[in-house]
Chains A and B, each alone.
Chain A
Amino acid sequence: MSLDDLYREVILAHYKRPHNHGELPGADIAIEGKNPACGDELKLQLKLSEGKVSEVRFSGHGCAISQSSASMMTDQLKGKTLDEAFQLAEDFKSMIRGERKAQMPGDLEALRGVTKFPVRVKCATLAWSTLQYAISEQRTSGRLATGYVER
């Protein structure tokens, strides 16, 4: 186990210059995710067009792992249906837990090293769990969830 497994160059690059960072006025889905144990917070905003994600932004603060994971996630969401987005989150979380071996798309593969740092798993999954919560709430209750709290 080495620190370089965790802090890959591409992760630190996303941390320093996050993609799709900022506010998205008129978003169809807007939700804030928190991990009270460590204080990480992020806001996720999505616009939908014809059932697919057309625009996505995130903002917030947290460690390199949580912020880069959110940044990488936003890169992957555009053009996906909510079902596809939900499934990608499942796949990602399964990889982070060390269960899924298949290659992940884009930069996401860089986060696989988190599997060796169990205490940092929730940093990596915060953005994805927040996304899943927003989607599942809309599916089950038709309401827009505004907050997700990691436990």
Chain B
Amino acid sequence: MTELQQVRYGQVAAPTANWTAEEVRHHFPILARKVHGKPLIYLDNAATSQKPRMVLEALNQYYKRHNANVHRGVHTLAAEATQAFEVARAKVARFINAPSPEQVIFTRGTTEAINLVAYAWGLENLRSGDEIVVTEMEHHSNLVPWHLAARRTGATIKAIPITIDGKLDLDQARQLIGPKTRLVAVAHVSNVLGTINPIEELTALAHARGALVLVDGAQAVPHMPVDVPAMGADFYAFSSHKMCGPTGAGVLYGRRELLEAMPPFLGGGEMISEVYIDRSTYNVLPYKFEAGTPNIAQAIGLGAGVDYLSALGMERIHQVERELVAYAYERMRQVEGLQLYGPGPSERAGLVAFNLPGVHPHDLATFLDQDGIAIRAGHHCAQPLMRALKVQSTARASFYFYNAADEVDALVASLQRAKEYFGHVLG
């Protein structure tokens, strides 16, 4: 028997240990594009990251040479597709230090991963009078699934408030997480404030009260080394498309005994062991939670993204971004009147939410777009946080390791000109 062929997508040329944004930018074909005649300056990475050539090549090669359905075919392509899919799972497991690949469940994204827990764990375990503790800075994807679970079970929801500098109020957290708390649902990194939350303190607090902790890691895993078991998370969710991978893939990590005790989320092919007309038994982990044909190419693409990020090194990525956001924060602080939200640069991840008084964020985003600068404007799927900040919406520049200091300079220059442009009428 000949060996199975692997999905080959090359490797990133090993950069120097202290590589810079300029040295890795060329890995991303889209960054060479122009928008409105200006070089693209992509500062919407918290929404989705761009994709390196390696990931595009992985998708291409998979479809060109190996495409087949996974886990049930005897033929060669099915075996190759299955192997590639499972190799990707193992890569993701290593990337977050999961004890085993069976604890890495592929989902459509962070949102589906959180919904999986809300339905499969929440509906089974929550009772009337139980409490779910969230935070004021959660993305809607870590709020609405709990609203749905609470409505069906009679559980109630409480929120840890934020302090004036955009951090979690831990004194309040100690009061709120009590004997009735069954679950604490918290973002590792806020998608608006950039705050890096003290997950280890929160898991210690929750576990001492007998509660579980679900961490929304969508804004953390792409940007810093993440060791999920070390931080004590019971569930951890994140998305491929924010970490150089394609859309349509995401991950739920769970502690093995929790996942094993949970009923399935969706029913269908692949997640079963035996099926009769009126009943079925379920497959083992992780397949119990992967009903139907999974997003095979996307999972393999995520595996390629993980390879790419690992080659660059997550420590270095984190360092590059910290330096860039410190520079951006300082430059933006010097724009007179510009309102910045969240903690100081030493305590935040690589994004800055801001407002120019008198100019609506959408108008600002349209202005910057004319300069080729892509930022986001709106409520960032965090309406409760907008209320806490007493704003309707904000603009947000979010960075990745391929953004360079001269792009920050261009942002600041464009902000200055926007101030003048709108200022002559709006004053």
Contact = CB atoms under 8 A, between A and B. Distances in A.
Interface of A: 1, 3, 6-7, 9, 12-13, 15-16, 37-39, 61-65, 117, 119-120, 123
Contacts of B360: 62-64
Contact of A39 (B370, B393, B425, B427): B393
Nearest to B427: A16
A120 B366 contact: yes
A63 B362 contact: yes
Contacts of A7: 363, 421-422
Interface residues on B, range: 20 to 34
B362 A3 contact: no
Contacts of B367: 3
B294 interface: no
A3 B425 contact: no
B378 A38 contact: yes
Contacts of A39: 378-379, 386, 392-393
Contacts of A64: 359-360, 363, 422
B13 interface: no
12 contacts: A7-B363, A12-B425, A13-B425, A15-B425, A16-B427, A38-B393, A62-B362, A63-B361, A64-B363, A65-B363, A117-B366, A123-B362
B426 interface: yes
A16 B425 CA distance: 8
Given A6-B366, A63-B360, 7 more contacts: A15-B425, A39-B392, A62-B392, A63-B363, A64-B359, A64-B363, A120-B366
Contact of A38 (B36, B362, B427): B362
A61 B426 CA distance: 15
A3 B366 contact: yes
A3 to B, nearest CB: 5
Interface in B391-415: 392-393
A89 B366 CA distance: 25
Contacts of B370: 3
A12 B427 CA distance: 11
Say whether chain A's binding surface is mostly helix, strand, loop, or mixed.
helix
Contacts of B361: 63
Contacts of A38: 362, 377-378, 393
A122 B378 CA distance: 14
What are the 4 closest A-B residue pairs judged by CB atoms, nearest first? A12-B425, A63-B360, A63-B362, A64-B363
B52 to A, nearest CB: 28
A39 B376 CA distance: 13
B426 A15 contact: yes
A3 B421 contact: yes
Nearest to A62: B360
B425 A9 contact: yes
Nearest to B360: A63
Nearest to B379: A39
Contacts of A61: 392
Contacts of B392: 39, 61-62
Tell which of A1, A6, A15, A61 has the most Cβ of chain B within 10 Å. A15
Nearest to B367: A3
Interface string B358-384: 011111001100100000011100000
A120 B393 CA distance: 16
Nearest to A119: B366
B144 to A, nearest CB: 13
A15 B426 CA distance: 8
B359 to A, nearest CB: 8
A15 B427 CA distance: 12
Contacts of B421: 3, 7
A79 B304 CA distance: 65
A132 B362 CA distance: 25
A67 to B, nearest CB: 8
B356 to A, nearest CB: 12
A9 B36 CA distance: 23
A120 B425 CA distance: 20
A143 to B, nearest CB: 28
Contacts of A63: 360-363
B426 A16 contact: yes
Interface in B330-366: 359-363, 366
A3 B364 CA distance: 11
A43 B366 CA distance: 25
Contacts of B359: 64
A64 B361 CA distance: 10
Interface in B24-39: 36
Kindly name the residue among B421, B422, B425 whose own CB sees the greatest number of chain A CB atoms within 10 A: B425
A38 B378 CA distance: 6
A36 to B, nearest CB: 9
Nearest to B358: A16
A1 B425 CA distance: 21
